[in-house]
Chain A
Amino acid sequence: MVIAVLDHVAHCDTSADGDALYLVLHRALALASRVTVSFDGVDGVPSSFINASIVRLVEELGIEAVKSRIAITDVSGQVSDMLRRCVRNASRAPEFA
């Protein structure tokens, strides 16, 4: 199953946008064992968007489950960097350990 982010949110600017993507991914993971998320058309994202979407899934499912079930494609350098930072910061948070 492929989910193009911009098919489901108009912008990737805020945590509210991230909440909307989270719901889409949450539903998709209930239907499919593996989901591909495409960031085609997204040139950059703030941390609040990633935290509300991808990191929230990491917190719920665990990082290993997310790695095995979610592939992320069509990322710009900035999106890739932000994903890496946010997931790393989440893994350092006391409540995550």
Chain B
Amino acid sequence: MPLTVKLPSSFTAHALYRFVSMVVSPEGSPRAETIVFDFRFLSWIDGAGLTVFCNTLQWLAARGVRCMFTNFDRPSEAIAYLDDCGFFEEYVGAKQRTNSSPRSTTLPFRPIGPSESFGWLDFEAIPWLAYVLNVDPRALASIKACMKEIFNNIADHSAETIGFVHVQQYPRVDRVHVTISDFGRGIPTTIRASYGDMSDSAAICLATQEGVSSRSTPRNRGSGLRVLVDYVSKNQGTVDIYSLTGSLKTVNQADGTIEYRETQGAGVYPGTLVNIDLPTIGFVGDEYEEVKEDFEW
């Protein structure tokens, strides 16, 4: 018998655990062979919510679950946003509105596999972000490297080796969000394998510390999440990380330090979601020199 899942009215990262718990059992299996997603109550969805939704659909499809949609033919801002992002064209086979088109404030969701992720970064994401942040693309070398780290982690640790990424500008609040998600072992599983038993949220926090690494591959001695947090915080941005039952949010303090807020969630996200929040005003990118330097050991 099909399972009906009502999408939350506000589908943001805060709804992540509740949504996934309706679809994924505690044992990590789909709750039904056929799932009907009901859009009736959906009034708002952001980039994080869309990324979680798409990642979940891909995860279900990989397990042979038939996914259907209902009540998406009503006019609403959330439906229009999904339509403009290409969601219905991708998953239903047709746009819902004849005039739907990608918005200038959105770099729409897409699956990211090992073969196309770096090309997408170089030729789509970085030029788009440079325009939004009003900097030269060369000033985004650090954030590009951080995103490459995340893609490498997906390739190394994700059960699916494919994640989803979505970039969204919010002009009214002068912010841009980059959301990357994959379904896989999750950061806590990988960290516990090297550092012993601890809660999921503590494991995520540990993973952001300098030099902490899963060592899950011979060449892995990670700085990726640490560099990401440092670089984003330097620009008055924040990083939210959700993995399994844990989450971590960075909060910039007035004295320049970073507070890490760990939380144990009321559900399980069977993978990892990273949401990067950057200001579009006052963003200070990397200094790039026309004349490069010698490295001093």
Contact = CB atoms under 8 A, between A and B. Distances in A.
Q: Do A and B come together as binding partners?
A: yes
A72 B144 CA distance: 22
B73 to A, nearest CB: 42
Contacts of A81: 142
Instruction: Give the most central of A56, A66, A85, A90: most B CB within 10 Å.
Output: A85
B286 to A, nearest CB: 6
Interface residues of B, number: 33
Nearest to A68: B297
Nearest to A83: B295
B220 A76 contact: no
B294 A73 contact: yes
Contact of A51 (B210, B219, B287, B297): B219
Contact of B220 (A15, A71, A75, A80): A15
A51 B221 contact: yes
A21 to B, nearest CB: 12
Interface size class on chain A is 35 or more
Contact of B152 (A14, A74, A87): A14
Interface in B105-120: 118
B144 A44 contact: yes
B211 A93 contact: yes
Given A78-B141, A78-B286, A47 B224 contact: yes
Nearest to B147: A46
A73 B145 contact: no
For the complex of A and B, list the 9 residue pairs with the smallest distance between their C-beta atoms, beginning with the closest.
A44-B141, A89-B211, A72-B295, A52-B219, A74-B292, A47-B223, A44-B145, A78-B141, A46-B148
Interface in B202-241: 210-211, 213, 217, 219-224, 226-227
Interface in B243-295: 286-289, 292-295
B38 interface: no
A7 interface: no
Contacts of B145: 44-46, 78, 82
Interface of A: 11, 13-15, 18-19, 39-40, 43-48, 51-52, 55-56, 66-67, 71-83, 85-90, 92-93
> Chain A interface secondary structure, helix, strand, loop or mixed?
helix
Nearest to B293: A75
B138 interface: yes
Nearest to A87: B297
Contacts of A45: 145
A11 to B, nearest CB: 7
A11 B211 CA distance: 24
Contact of B142 (A14, A52, A71, A78): A78
A89 B149 CA distance: 16
Contacts of B289: 76-77
Contacts of A83: 295
A74 B294 CA distance: 6
A14 B160 CA distance: 18
A74 B295 CA distance: 8
Contacts of A75: 292-295
Given A13-B148, A47-B227, A89 B286 contact: no
Given A46-B152, A82-B223, 16 more contacts: A14-B155, A15-B152, A46-B145, A46-B224, A47-B149, A47-B223, A48-B152, A48-B222, A55-B219, A55-B221, A72-B294, A73-B294, A80-B293, A85-B227, A87-B297, A89-B223
A56 B217 CA distance: 13
Contact of A71 (B146, B227, B294): B294
A45 B217 CA distance: 18
Nearest to B121: A13
